[in-house]
Amino acid sequence: MQMHNPPHPGAVLRGLYMEPLGLSVSGLARTLGMSRKALSQIVNGHARITPNIAVRLSRAFDNSPEGWMNLQAQYDLWQERPRVRHLNIPVLHRGDSARRRA
């Protein structure tokens, strides 16, 4: 199911995990074994959650990496739809090529 204007996964990370647990960017970055700058970029919506980061977050917060990747996918799809709306791409159906050849 498509979300309406989903938040960046970094906002979810900050709002549902970091703030309630009193975690700083520096502290969480140390826990995850990544740079403070890289985590700051995610938390501030300037970088994506990669599969590697999703696995790290899932271990730290005892949840699934698929959940983190789904958040990123929903956000990415929402951002991309307006960019391709103007393209004139026809809907293809099975058998179209066979009908064209006939």
pLDDT, tens digit (0-9, with 9 covering 90-100), for 2-22: 558 999 999 999 999 999 999
All residues at 6 or more sequence positions from 72 whose CB lies less than 8 Å from its CB, including other chains: 9, 48, 49, 54
- pLDDT, one tens digit per residue, over 27-71 is 999 999 999 999 999 999 999 999 999 999 999 999 999 999 999
Q: Which domains does the chain have, with CATH numbers?
A: 1-68 (1.10.260.40)
90 burial (CB, 10 Å; 0-12 / 13-18 / 19+) is exposed
Could you tell me the pTM of the whole model? 0.83
Distance CA(44)–CA(56), nearest Å, equals 18
Taking the mean position of all CA atoms in its chain, how far away is CA 69?
5
What is the share, in percent, of the chain residues with pLDDT greater than 90?
78
pLDDT band of 84, cuts 50, 70, 90: confident
